[in-house]
Amino acid sequence: MVGIWGVGGSGKTTLATSVYMEMSQHFQGHCILENVREDTRKHGLRKLQEDILSSLFKEEVNVYSVIEGKHKMKSMLCHRKVLVVLDDVDELGQLEALAGKHNWFGSGSRIIITTRDEHLLRTHRVDHVYPITLLSNDDATQLFKRHAYNEKEPIEDYDKFSLRAISYASGHPLSLKVLGSFLYDKNKNEWISALKKLKDIPNPNVMNIIKTSYDGLESYEKELFLDIACFFRRWDADEVVQILEACGFHPKIGMKVLIQKALITIVDDIIDMHDILEEMGHYIVRGEHPNNPENHSRLWIKKEIKELCFKDERMEYDKTEAIIYDYVSEDDVDTSCLCKLVSKMKKLRLLSVATHGDNENVEGANFLSNELQYINWFNYPASPFPHNFQPMKLAVLELSCSKQKELWKGYKVIRYSFFA
């Protein structure tokens, strides 16, 4: 058995199909079962067992239960050299029903499995497990041109636009195909407009394919993925683990799952992910309200945070769970405005802010959410914490370069605190 795993749209099916077409003539029977994930939900595993047997023997084979199907597959195939491709598997039960054990199949048989989940292949003890590799720049350029120019060489003027499109896709085959097909036969102004729009509104055809990996996660794994996509890409893994443990996400287990599903990587202790996956995370958070940041669960885009600071002061932001803001220039939001904004966030769990200048006389937040589990505020103002602040869930408190002289009154349950 051979397993190929990787994120949606990365070329797993294309590779498996190509191998199948090249090798199928060398087997007594061959079968490719596409969309196992989707067809299992629509028709059930019994029907898929029927499809495999009927295809391999080129005659109708009836199966009346999954258990019977397992026995039938073993008894009918154990002396037959077959090639079977199981495409887009997402549950262990599918492998147990469709490719249970090696002795189901005759000597020399090959079973090729594609999935988004490496752990699935390891659990089923697949012999050879390979991650899909994304396209090199040269291959990506060829694929994009094939779809954008219909095999023709681009007009010289379009070369720089092609490079931008190829850079955006970062070797992801589906993105290159969809983007190239969309730009085909469009004029220069339409190309410019489309490429500008991509960062704010990613192509839904691409997002819907790769989002399937996200949809299969447990709820806490989804939250973990979104926090990494919005806040923690290219951060030190140990630091992120400390922060997310404070937020109750079991990050060590969760990160392992995300790695196995090709949603993140950790190399030299740095967390990273493909640009397209980062965009997917942003796309999910911004959802149906890309232009209404008050409806987003996470805030990290400076322009949007600045916009919220100057909205109606009576507004409350009961959907915001996390905010990260780092002051860089004088055009950024000042401490006073930021304190007022944070005061409106009633369900905040993660707060990481760096403000500037002399905050000795700046009024701090008049309200802080009792849901807060992690606070890191560089240069917090000297004014006292809100009188009703009782953060019983708080695990980490960091107030580097703070003017704060005392904590809130009442219970103080903090696993880790740092003042400097």
pLDDT score of 1: 94
pLDDT score of 127: 94
Segments of 262-336 assigned E as strands: 265-267, 270-272, 298-299, 322-326
Give dist(CA 135, CA 10) in Å, integer: 9
Q: Is the pLDDT of residue 337 over 60?
A: yes
pLDDT for 312-328, tens place per residue? 677 788 899 999 988 76
pLDDT for 220-264, tens place per residue? 999 999 999 999 999 999 989 988 887 777 899 999 999 988 899
210-214 long-range Cβ contacts below 8 angstroms, 24+ apart = 210/7, 210/8, 210/9, 210/174, 210/276, 210/277, 210/280, 211/8, 211/280, 211/284, 212/8, 212/37, 212/116, 213/7, 213/8, 213/116, 213/261, 213/262, 213/263, 214/263, 214/280, 214/284
Stretch 18-30: mean pLDDT, rounded? 94
Domain 207-282 matching CATH 1.10.10.10: the answer reads yes
pLDDT for 268-278, tens place per residue? 999 998 888 88
Q: What are phi and psi of 398, to 5 degrees?
A: -125, 120
Average pLDDT, the chain: 85
pLDDT score of 420: 47
Between strands 270-272 and 265-267, the pairing is: antiparallel
* CB of 22 closer than 8 Å to CB of 112: no
Least confident range from 47-61, 92-106, 279-293: namely: 279-293
pLDDT for 206-228, tens place per residue? 777 788 888 889 999 999 999 99
pLDDT score of 143: 87
Using H for helix, E for strand and C for coil, what is the string for 360-396?
A: CCCCCCCCCCCCCCEEEEECCCCCCCCCCCCCCCCCE
pLDDT score of 246: 76
Angle between helices 251-260 and 219-227 (to 10 degrees): 90
Per-domain residue ranges for the chain?
2-131, 137-201, 207-282, 288-419
Between strands 128-131 and 2-5, the pairing is: parallel
pLDDT score of 255: 93
- pLDDT band of residue 129 (cuts 50, 70, 90) is very high
Least confident range from 27-41, 138-152, 297-311: namely: 138-152
pLDDT score of 74: 94
Q: Which CATH architecture has domain 2-131?
A: 3-Layer(aba) Sandwich (3.40)
